[in-house]
């Protein structure tokens, strides 16, 4: 696990420790286990990262945009808890793309044997990418993919994802 510390999929901007993230939109506000190895939530704070670690967590994947990551101490919190950290910047609804679903899929496959927390501001983008991944990469039906998306936090992005899956 130590050799995978600080792997980053994309450029991450980090400021001094102790900075706080923007307030979360309503969504999944605490680490929530959705499968044996996958947890989801909105923006984690230091206590959320520590709790996830205590529950056997090993990897954190942030889907926050680069702007949202500015001022965050999340990478410090994860590495100080000996968790691997990855960042796939998803810039709001415009960042809900096949490329980002594939990037998330690659990270999940790389860490298939680990317990992973995937988050964004509210888990809405998390759920959207899980829905796209389920349909496009795992061959699930549109209905099943949307259900998976909702289970992983998708709410307001459901109509966008539904249209993307119909194309």
How far apart (Å, rounded) are the C-alpha atoms in residues 24 and 36? 25
**Percent of the chain, pLDDT > 90?**
83
What pLDDT shows up at residue 60?
A: 98
Strand pairing class (84-87; 59-62): parallel
What pLDDT shows up at residue 83?
A: 98
How far apart (Å, rounded) are the C-alpha atoms in residues 83 and 78? 5
Mean pLDDT of 138-147: 98
Q: Which residues of 4-32 are buried (b: 16+ CB within 10 A; e: fewer)?
A: eeeeebeebebeeeeeebeebeebbeebb
pLDDT digits (tens, 9 = 90+) for 131-141: 999 999 999 99
- Contact residues for 126 (Cβ-Cβ < 8 A; gap 6+): 40, 63, 118, 119, 120, 152, 153, 154
Mean pLDDT of 138-166: 98
What pLDDT shows up at residue 55?
A: 96
Asked if residues 86 and 63 have their Cβ atoms less than 8 Å apart, the reply is: no
What pLDDT shows up at residue 26?
A: 59
- How many other C-beta atoms are found inside a 10 Å radius of the C-beta of residue 64? 25
**Percent of the chain, pLDDT > 70?**
84
What pLDDT shows up at residue 27?
A: 79
Q: Which two three-digit tokens encode residue 102? A: 């594939």
Asked if residues 63 and 43 have their Cβ atoms less than 8 Å apart, the reply is: no
Q: Give 30-166's CATH code, choosing from 3.40.50.720, 3.90.190.10, 3.90.1150.10, 3.40.630.10.
A: 3.90.190.10
Distance set, CA 58 to CA 31, 82, 154 (Å): 13, 8, 24
Q: Is 14's pLDDT higher than 60?
A: no
pLDDT digits (tens, 9 = 90+) for 47-60: 999 999 999 999 99
Its pTM surpasses 0.75: yes
What pLDDT shows up at residue 23?
A: 42
**β-sheet bridge partners, residue 33:** 39
pLDDT digits (tens, 9 = 90+) for 35-90: 999 999 999 999 999 999 999 999 999 999 999 999 899 999 999 999 999 999 99
For residue 97, which phi and psi values (nearest 5 degrees)?
A: -135, 165
Task: Show me where the domains of the chain are located.
Answer: 30-166
Query: pLDDT confidence of 143, banded at 50, 70, 90?
Result: very high
How far apart (Å, rounded) are the C-alpha atoms in residues 27 and 32? 11
Average pLDDT of the chain? 87
């Amino acid at each position: 696990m130590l050799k995978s510390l600080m792997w980053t999929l994309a450029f991450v901007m980090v400021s001094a420790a102790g900075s706080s993230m923007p307030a979360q939109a309503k969504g999944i506000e605490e680490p929530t286990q959705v499968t044996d190895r996958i947890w989801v939530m909105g923006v984690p704070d230091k206590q959320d990262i520590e709790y996830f670690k205590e529950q056997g967590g090993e990897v954190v994947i942030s889907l926050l945009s680069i702007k949202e990551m500015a001022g965050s101490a999340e990478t410090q919190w994860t590495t100080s808890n000996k968790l691997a950290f990855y960042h796939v910047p998803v810039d709001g609804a415009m960042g809900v793309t096949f490329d980002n679903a594939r990037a998330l899929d690659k990270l999940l496959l790389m860490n298939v044997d680990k317990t992973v927390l995937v988050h964004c501001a509210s888990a809405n983008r998390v759920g959207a990418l899980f829905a796209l991944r389920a349909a496009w990469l795992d061959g699930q039906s549109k209905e099943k993919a949307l259900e998976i998306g909702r289970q992983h936090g998708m709410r307001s992005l459901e109509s966008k994802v539904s249209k993307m899956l119909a194309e």
